[in-house]
Amino acid sequence: MRVSLSYNFKLNKMKKFLITVGVLIASLISLAHVTPQEEVAIDTNCCNDTTKEIESTATEEISMELFGIWQTLDNEFVQISRDMDFKVSFMRVASSKALLAKGFITADSAETLSIDRTYPESETYVSQYVFSPSKKTLVIMKPNSNQAWVLHKVQ
């Protein structure tokens, strides 16, 4: 019984620490200055010349550290992976295994993600994110909020 109480105490202490770190990081992110990306002009005369390449703004590659299974402080799980079309997809599942949300993720920059949620309702938003130095903790800003999700990498 003593071992169990000690474990619960350490677990609660760790949760409080992660919440504090998450709030601190979310505050820092909200204070950060984000500069808009440059737009690239597209030459419409290219359509008649098949040898000319079309310039476009390609989204950045998703960081490999983002892939895996993450656990939230509310005991929900988020799986981030590639689907059959190589799109980066996510699923958020409750501890009861009920599907809470799913959709697709693209990287807008090294600090922001574009989220296209398809379930339970369609919604598109941009969120800032940051990893802990160990890459085991991920903080993602909630849309239209000063709050953030704090996730710990499980797998």
**pTM of this structure:** 0.60
Handedness of CA 92, 93, 94, 98 (dihedral sign): positive
Structure confidence at residue 119 (pLDDT): 94
- Asked if residue 138 is part of any domain, the answer here is yes
- Asked if residue 39 is part of any domain, the answer here is no
Q: Which string of DSSP letters, residue by residue, matches 119-145? A: ESS-EEEEEEEEE-TTSSEEEEEPTTS
Structure confidence at residue 45 (pLDDT): 52
Structure confidence at residue 94 (pLDDT): 94
Q: Which domain holds residue 67?
A: 2-32+61-153
Instruction: Please compute the mean of the pLDDT values over residues 140-154 and round it to a whole number.
Output: 92
What is the C-alpha to C-alpha distance for residues 138 and 82, in angstroms, rounded to an integer? 19
- Asked if residue 71 has pLDDT above 50, the reply is yes
- Asked if residue 51 is part of any domain, the answer here is no
- Asked if residue 45 is part of any domain, the answer here is no
CATH number, domain of 11, equals 2.40.128
Write out the two tokens for 52. Answer: 């000319």
- Asked if residue 124 is part of any domain, the answer here is yes
Domain count along the chain: 1
- Asked if residue 91 is part of any domain, the answer here is yes
Structure confidence at residue 91 (pLDDT): 95
Is the omega angle on the peptide bond into residue 143 within 30 degrees of 0, that is, cis? no
